[in-house]
Structure 1
Amino acid sequence: MEARMNYRKANPQAFQAMLQLEKYVHETGLDKKLIELIKIRASQINGCAFCLDMHTKDARKLGETEQRIYLLSAWRESAVYTEAERAGLALTEAVTVITNGGVSDEVYKQVREHFDENQYVSLIMAINTINCWNRLAISTGMSAPAIL
């Protein structure tokens, strides 16, 4: 796929706004590996190859294992994720596909067992930020670099 445009150059202010959201997410105190799992899972759901390429590499740099990255699309059937991670992933799916009923009371309760109100909002912001990056990348035709 050929990029339609370079959105960073076309609208630098929009790019700067996104960078500010990203900066906020990384200053929340949420576990860095959990943030990357959220980014990967949302990108899988949205079909964003560019973001999947980037965030699987970022996760590996943080020490994430290949097994946990490979199993992420089937996290419910895998025992390699903590209960807190599972709650974050459930919230990621609910927020990413918000039209499928929103965030159920069950998911909310599951998340709140592991995260306080402040962290809950921080998780939502992390999920919203990667969803926005996905939409920017897909809409402007960004793709993962080809490896030949």
Structure 2
Amino acid sequence: MTQNRVHLARRARAVYQALQEFSKAVGAHAREHGLDDRLMELVQLRCSQINGCAYCMRVHVDRAEKAGVTMDELGQLTAWRDSGVFTERERAALELAEAHTLIHQDGISDEVYNRVGSVLTEEEYIGVSWLAIAINAFNRQAIAGRYEVASRQG
């Protein structure tokens, strides 16, 4: 039988609140520099998918729907490279988000940096980067604590 996991957010409340404040600052910076809610939610959802964070996927699917992302687009997010439903700007943001999430593999290669930089402005690049960094921190915290995601049925 597995022991219950320590709930990091509850046991170190001040640290978790600092992470929340950091995330709010990241979101404000991203919005201030031209990133809309739709793009921001796609980035956060894609990072959460890669990390396998069901808790954050639930949160960001709900937010993505509110930001106008369709079910068709949500269904194709994992295959964004082969799908025609995302804009060039969204594709660049998704590529950068994936590179940040998988940074232990290749870092941010010059190829990715140049390709993404040819589409996103420097400020958009910075905003997407910080979004990926922030959501990756939340993913790790939720996964480590095995945060439960209950069924919405019945």
TM-score (norm 1): 0.92
SS at match of 1:145: coil
Between 54-63 and 19-28, the greater mean CA deviation after superposition:
19-28
Q: Which residue of 2 aligns with 1:63?
A: 68
Aligned pair count reads: 148
Q: Are 2:92 and 2:120, in contact at CA under 8 Å, matched by a contact in 1?
A: no
SS at match of 1:74: helix
Q: In structure 1, how many angstroms separate the alpha carbons of the residues matched to 2:115 and 2:87?
A: 12
1:3/1:109 Cα in 2 relative to 1: closer, same or farther (>3 Å)? farther
Give the superposition deviation at 1:107: 1.4
Give the superposition deviation at 1:22: 1.3
Q: Are 1:2 and 1:142, in contact at CA under 8 Å, matched by a contact in 2?
A: no
Give the superposition deviation at 1:100: 1.7
The higher relative CO (CA closer than 8 Å, separation ≥ 6) is in 1
1:110/1:80 Cα in 2 relative to 1: closer, same or farther (>3 Å)? same
Which ranges of structure 1 fall in alignment gaps of 5 or more residues? none
Q: Which residue of 2 aligns with 1:33?
A: 38
Q: Which residue of 2 aligns with 1:24?
A: 25
Between 110-119 and 120-129, the greater mean CA deviation after superposition:
110-119
Q: In structure 2, how many angstroms separate the alpha carbons of the residues matched to 1:73 and 1:143?
A: 22
- Structure 2 counterpart of 1:21, one-letter code: F
TM-score (norm 2): 0.89
Spell out structure 1 runs of 4+ moving beyond 4 A: none
Q: Which residue of 1 aligns with 2:115?
A: 110
Which ranges of structure 2 fall in alignment gaps of 5 or more residues? none
Q: Which residue of 2 aligns with 1:8?
A: 9
Q: Deviations over 1:85-115 (max 9, x none)?
A: 1001111111101122111222112221232
